[in-house]
């Protein structure tokens, strides 16, 4: 199951969704920023819109996002137990009815889920083509596992999911998350109870987190190839 390639139409859709996201940001806010091209476009727009306004503060879910945001003048905020995020913004690999999400193609799912869980609201910002009838149609489910004994962890994952392929970078190097963990990419079987499946996966010894983001998004900003935006909420 391969990832879909970006097209010029996707660039238009992504830009439209990012512009809709900017309308939800106010000067002086503390926001959460995930990863991916839609988020990076939001960072560019923040730099343009809030250059002379009260500074935006942000918690970053990936090292790459942190680099881009700091270069854009966005002040870093820390999840220190007291900080509350007004609005989290992030993309998704798949968006199903009810705003159920599959995320983790970029490998930042653990930090992304922590940032979203610390936010008052979470808007997913993506292209319309990311919508699916059920999760797992076009992407495999990433499962983040600790490095120690990962092969045994993989065997336990295979008791719950039909496949669990070890993710590599180029030249067969292991893909490491920002937290230094490994990733297994797994086929997601059709099921009417993703909450139960997610709890099963999370309960496996050696599993850190998985890419099912259920009941977390409050709004979806879905860019279209004609530059319009389909807004969905729950």
CB 173 within 8 Å of CB 193: no
> Using one digit for the tens of pLDDT, what is the confidence trace for 73-97?
899 999 999 999 999 999 999 999 9
β-bridge mates for residue 142, sequence order: 185
Q: Whole-angstrom Cα distance, residue 42 to residue 40?
A: 5
Helix-then-strand count for the chain, H and E: 6, 14
Superfamily of domain 141-211: ACT domain (3.30.70.260)
> What is the mean predicted confidence (pLDDT) over 17-37?
95
Query: pTM to 2 decimals?
Result: 0.93
| 1 CA to centre of own chain | 19
> Using one digit for the tens of pLDDT, what is the confidence trace for 42-57?
999 999 998 877 789 9
Q: What is the pLDDT of residue 2?
A: 42
Annotated active-site residue 195? The verdict is: no
**For the chain, which residues make up each domain, given as ranges?**
8-131+215-233, 141-211
- Burial of 203 from C-beta contacts in 10 A (0-12 / 13-18 / 19+): exposed
Quick one: CATH architecture of 8-131+215-233? Answer: 3-Layer(aba) Sandwich (3.40)
Q: How do the residues of the chain divide into helix, strand and coil, expressed in percent and rounded to 5?
A: 30, 25, 45
Domains 8-131+215-233 and 141-211 are alike in CATH topology: no
> Using one digit for the tens of pLDDT, what is the confidence trace for 201-216?
999 999 999 999 999 9
β-bridge mates for residue 87, sequence order: 31
Q: Whole-angstrom Cα distance, residue 53 to residue 86?
A: 17
> What is the mean predicted confidence (pLDDT) over 127-137?
96
Q: What is the pLDDT of residue 213?
A: 98
| 140 CA to centre of own chain | 14
**From 26, 48, 112, 173, the catalytic residue:** 112
């Amino acid at each position: 199951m391969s990832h879909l390639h970006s097209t010029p139409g996707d660039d238009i859709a992504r830009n439209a969704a990012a512009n809709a996201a900017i309308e939800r940001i106010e000067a002086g806010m503390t926001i959460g920023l995930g990863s991916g091209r839609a988020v990076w476009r939001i960072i560019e727009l923040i730099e343009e819109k809030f250059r002379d306004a009260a500074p935006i503060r942000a918690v970053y879910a990936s090292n790459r996002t942190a680099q881009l945001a700091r270069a854009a003048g966005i002040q870093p905020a820390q999840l220190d137990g007291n900080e509350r995020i007004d609005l989290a913004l992030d993309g998704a690999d798949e968006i199903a009815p009810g705003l159920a999400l599959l995320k983790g193609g970029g490998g930042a799912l653990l930090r992304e889920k922590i940032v979203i869980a610390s936010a008052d609201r979470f808007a997913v910002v993506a292209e319309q083509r990311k919508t699916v009838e059920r999760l797992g149609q076009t992407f495999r489910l990433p499962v983040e596992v600790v490095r120690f004994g990962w092969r045994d962890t993989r065997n336990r994952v295979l008791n719950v999911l039909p496949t669990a392929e070890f993710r590599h970078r180029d030249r067969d190097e292991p893909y490491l998350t920002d937290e230094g963990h490994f990733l297994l990419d797994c086929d997601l079987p059709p099921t009417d109870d993703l909450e139960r499946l997610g709890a099963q996966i999370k309960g496996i010894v050696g599993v850190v987190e998985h890419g099912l983001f259920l009941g977390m998004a409050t709004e979806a900003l879905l860019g279209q190839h004609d530059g319009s935006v389909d807004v969905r909420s729950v």
